[in-house]
Copies of this chain bind each other. A is one copy, B any other.
Amino acid sequence: MTETTRLEAFSDGVLAVAITLLVLDLHDPGVHLPHGLARALLDQWPAYATYAVSFLTIGVIWVNHHDVFDRIAAVDRRLKFINLLLLMVVVVIPFSTALLSHHFRDGSNGHAAAVFYGLVAMAMGLAFTSMWVYLGRHPELLADGHDAAYARGRSVRTAVFGPAVYAVATVIGLVSAAASLILYAAVPMYFAFARSADAGPTNR
């Protein structure tokens, strides 16, 4: 295996574990249930909503991660480190999801949880942006057909669609956890639907 393939395989492994650990944020409501289990399960709908949003978010991170590495021919030690920082942030998502899930309807604590969720998502977007900025300065790492200008273009677009949108959602979280959650959900939906119109079948 090449260094690039290995880095991708390790990153895929981490993403697969992180996305699956999200299920640990779903809790058995327990045995003392005055209104019964069915009602208790319905009552914890924020846990399902945050689970779905985070699952789709990490899913889209996986898609985007491959999209970056499809355009890379070689990796150096610093790019490995930036990739490690990206993974370090993504692995926090099951924790920020648990916080948002538990405190969602808890007034100002819900806002705090929504802001924390947004800060983690912003850090994730910044790590992706850093990767493109670094590639713009080290175009020798890019695959054939891609140059520094391409990487710089990608770094701008990544900054706008990632950290910038998440920054807005984070600020909205200061006043409404629900409104920010809708915006957090919108990002992966945009990637899944809006961008699929122009994307034909690929088997690169």
Taking Cβ atoms with an 8 Å cutoff, the residues of A that contact B are: 1-6, 9-10, 12-24, 26, 28, 31, 33, 36-38, 41, 51-52, 55-56, 59, 62-63, 66, 73-78, 80-81, 84, 87-88, 91-92, 94-95, 98-99, 102-103, 106, 108-109, 112-113, 115-116, 138, 140-141, 192-193, 195-196, 199-204
**Residues of B close to A140: CB separation below 8 A:** 201
**Residues of B close to A73: CB separation below 8 A:** 203
Contact A20 B76 (CB under 8 A): no
> What is the oligomeric copy number?
4
Contact B14 A20 (CB under 8 A): yes
A18-B20, A92-B23 known; A4-B109 Cβ under 8 A: no
Which of these, B6, B18, B22, B91, contacts A66 with CB under 8 Å? Answer: B6
User: Which DSSP category, helix, strand, loop or mixed, fits chain A's interface?
Assistant: helix
Which of these, B94, B106, B138, contacts A31 with CB under 8 Å? Answer: B106
In angstroms, Cα B61 to Cα A120, docked, is 25
- Smallest CB separation, A114 vs chain B (Å): 10
Contact A21 B18 (CB under 8 A): no
Which of these, B5, B56, B102, contacts A84 with CB under 8 Å? Answer: B56
